[in-house]
Amino acid sequence: MTTLKDSFGRTIDYLRLSITDRCNLRCIYCMPAEGVAWVPHNDILTFEEIIRICRIMAGVKIRNIKVTGGEPLVRRGATELVKNLKNLPGIEKVTMTSNGTLLGGYLDDLSQAGLDAVNISLDSVNRAIFRRITGKDGIEQIFAAIRRAGELGLPVKINCVPLRGVNECDVVNIAGLAKKGNLMVRFIELMPLGAAAVFHPIPVKDLISMLEKEYGFLMPVTDKIGNGPASYYTLSGFTGYIGFISALSHRFCAGCNRLRLSAEGFLKPCLSGNMELDLRALLRGGASDKKIETAIEELVMCKPEQHSFLSGGHGQKEMFRIGG
């Protein structure tokens, strides 16, 4: 069985899998203000096509799959997809990223399907700020989902995108969610894709200063946590962890282990840039598994050494179309 490696020797074993571009929220840094034209249903990969791709990828030692959207739970059958992904030989973990507003109604079934963990996007615990960011209410549903996940023993990571002048006043409160329970709260540096380009991220050093002023010294965690690039810390009196994902200010490209598959079937080796492989065309054109596998291996060999966000050479696809 071949291990998937790029030209820089990095092992690629993690797939972010978008199953829909649609979402029930309208987050200002994700969805353009003028609205969007949704991708026609026939242009979206079927679940059968997704399973075939993931089976081929498992054959080249993709081991971890993150199911994303848009909001993945707006697509009917997402729970059954999770079950089928978990049953693929070689796949070790299947997790999901959700905005949390629909999650509570699916958690029991997702847990039974074998979901290993869930990431929940939460940019504010203040109702007015939350509504400003997302365009809707939903905090109660999110916290109900967090509680139910805890009851089921399902690990939860809270993802917050700090925006200068928007939700920075709530950063301390969001971090405080890690004080009780086994939650991980991660602050993700805004990437200048699509609608996000008009907003300003809050640098990690500023976030750390804000948190230490309120909670005391952040102590680095040396143990490996999860499959991603977050740097984790703990605080005195906290049972959970605080994490920072800073793709711009602290590039972690040297350890990148992932590919991204859009709902339309475009496989991207890097979040920045326009390089992609049209797997939908190969699938619907009658390509064999071996031809698809070879095409994936060739794309991986073209994976850039690092992203191009800082040089301005990145593509302008919206985040909701490529799954983050």
**Which CATH number belongs to the domain containing residue 155 in this structure?**
3.20.20.70
Residue 203 lies in a domain: yes
How confident is the model over 134-177, as pLDDT tens digits? 999 999 999 999 999 999 999 999 999 999 999 999 999 999 99
Question: What span, in angstroms and rounded, lies between the C-alpha atoms of 142 and 261?
Answer: 26
Residue 207 has pLDDT above 70, yes or no: yes
pLDDT classification of 313: cutoffs 50, 70, 90 = very low
Q: How far apart are CA 156 and CA 140, in angstroms?
A: 16
Q: What is the pLDDT of residue 314?
A: 47
Query: pLDDT tens across 106-123, in order?
Result: 999 999 999 999 999 999
Q: Which residue has the tokens 């994902």?
A: 245
The pLDDT value recorded for residue 37 is: 80
312 in a structural domain: yes
Interatomic CA distance for residues 119 and 244, integer angstroms? 14
Prediction pTM value: 0.92
Burial class (CB in 10 A: 0-12, 13-18, 19+), 254: exposed
Which pLDDT score, from 0 to 100, does residue 250 have?
56
Look over the chain and give the mean of its residue pLDDT values, rounded to a whole number.
Answer: 90
Domain annotation covers residue 288: yes
Number of structural domains, the chain?
1
Does the residue 5 lie in any domain? no
CA-to-CA distance for 59 and 111, rounded, in angstroms? Answer: 25
pLDDT of residue 249: 56
Cα dihedral 142→144→149→152 (10° resolution): -170
**Residue 4 domain flag:** no
**pLDDT the model gives residue 322:** 60
Q: What is the pLDDT of residue 324?
A: 54
The pLDDT score that the predictor gives to residue 78 is: 98
Within a domain: residue 1?
A: no
Q: Which two tokens stand for residue 137?
A: 């209410």
DSSP designation for 236: T
Q: What is the pLDDT of residue 252?
A: 67
Query: What's the distance, Cα to Cα, between the start and end of the chain in Å?
Result: 29
Range of the domain at 132: 14-322
250-274: per-residue pLDDT in tens?
A: 566 888 899 999 999 999 998 877 8
- Helices vs. strands in the chain: H and E counts, helices first: 10, 12
